[in-house]
Structure 1
């Protein structure tokens, strides 16, 4: 599943193509919004919050979530799409550009006043201008017996972390992912590491994983083969599920609690 850095960069691309321009076409290929017509409306801004993306006019907010396979791509008008048209779920165009959301997991057209209902339950956005480490720390510490690998993945604590970065953050802090949050000696440092890692991934791509997806390869610190397991899931899951939802760690650098 795309993580906060991917959505952040998607918002940047869409902002360049759409912000400040008037829509000449809008096409929502989901039943609930199939009749919505935004032609003539001016896109004011495009922003992300965690894994959520919002394209705002003065009247509405187009909310999308990529889920597992979604992607936004920008084309010059008349340029051939690079993915099958049947997978397009939202199309927004102006005189110069066409933005197409393919295989989007969620598409909503909300009144601007209702946009907050989508994100009210989320923790602080790691890539947002109002990032609040104290609030993130408070939310994590509220459930001290929860495994940190699950707590980092919970968007109600910090918005933007997925499977990749929870493994990387725990590795950098030398914390085993099953360690209870309350047993981590410097939880504030883990919060700061989360902010640093996701910020670096968003602003300085490409990010090279140190442990994620590297089962049986050597740990970059000590040379021990990297291990992986499912956390809070069915441990009999297949290899694809193991890669997509599993945690990766160094058994030596990150000893279990």
Structure 2
């Protein structure tokens, strides 16, 4: 599933071509919507794992890519790299067509509805937002004292943007037990965790090149991959050579990769793990 840095990069790719431009054609789920034709795109923004496209007449397009969705940008007349049958959204402006393929969530809202919307209005502070509110993020974490830390930081209502890759990687970097309850950690530890999450996500979000490989291991040496633990179960930890483990967490049983030596267990693990 694309994480916050990926959506930031998508927004940065789409915005220069779409913002300020009049809509020439718009289709949602293969249905043409004439009411948007002639109106202008005013803003394209990422919000956590969501993409929002604003139009000047008060409509907002919301997409969430989940596991299989993707956005492409084509010049007029350019051949598409995917089938028309898989296009969820087609947004054409003069000379450019933005196409969202296989998005499981694609819908229109009124701008006035965004703040109270159950999917995008209840998101926690966006880790890549210019005005990230650490105080609020800490309040949200502390409001879940019994939740395993690895589950809490994946909750988009706590902080927006962290997915499975960053969950495992940032907890490894800060040497924190993913399975211990939030209450077991100090404010200083949680603050450092949020700060590192913001910094490393921003590094990846702003890295040049379309083919950028996400990296969380900033000082890697020869032979080391770009990430420390994610999808490395059974391989030796780069720091201590202990085999990396993988366990599943939360109601959705999402995979968590960790080093049992670098991230020692804190007292009793949360029953919710």
TM-score, normalised via structure 1 length = 0.91
Q: 1:108-137 CA distances to partner (integer Å, 9 max, x unpaired)?
A: 111222222332211101111221111101
2:235 is the alignment partner of 1:217: yes
Q: Which of 47, 50, 71 does residue 48 from structure 2 map onto?
A: 50
CA distance in 1, matches of 2:265, 2:34: 53
Q: Quote how far apart the aligned CAs of 1:234 are.
A: 7.7
Aligned pairs for 1:155-174 within 5 A: 155-174=156-175
2:206 is the alignment partner of 1:197: no
CA distance in 2, matches of 1:5, 1:234: 22
CA distance in 1, matches of 2:236, 2:122: 39
Q: Quote how far apart the aligned CAs of 1:248 are.
A: 0.3
CA distance in 2, matches of 1:206, 1:34: 36
Q: Quote how far apart the aligned CAs of 1:220 are.
A: 1.7
Q: 1:201-256 CA distances to partner (integer Å, 9 max, x unpaired)?
A: 21224322211111112212112111101112587xxxxxxxxx300001110122
CA distance in 1, matches of 2:2, 2:77: 28
Q: Quote how far apart the aligned CAs of 1:85 are.
A: 1.4
Q: Quote how far apart the aligned CAs of 1:37 are.
A: 3.6
CA contact (8 A) 1:214 1:226 kept: yes
**Higher relative helix content:** 1
- Which residue in the other structure is 1:28 paired with? 28
- Which residue in the other structure is 1:240 paired with? none
Consecutive unaligned residues of structure 1, counting only runs of 5 or more, are 236-244
Superposed structure 1 runs of 4+ greater than 6 Å apart: none
Q: Tell me the number of residue pairs that the alignment of Structure 1 and Structure 2 aligns.
A: 246
Q: Which of 258, 261, 270 does residue 249 from structure 1 map onto?
A: 258
SS in 2 for 1:13: helix
CA distance in 1, matches of 2:41, 2:127: 25
SS in 1 for 2:46: strand
TM-score, normalised via structure 2 length = 0.86
Consecutive unaligned residues of structure 2, counting only runs of 5 or more, are 216-226, 267-273
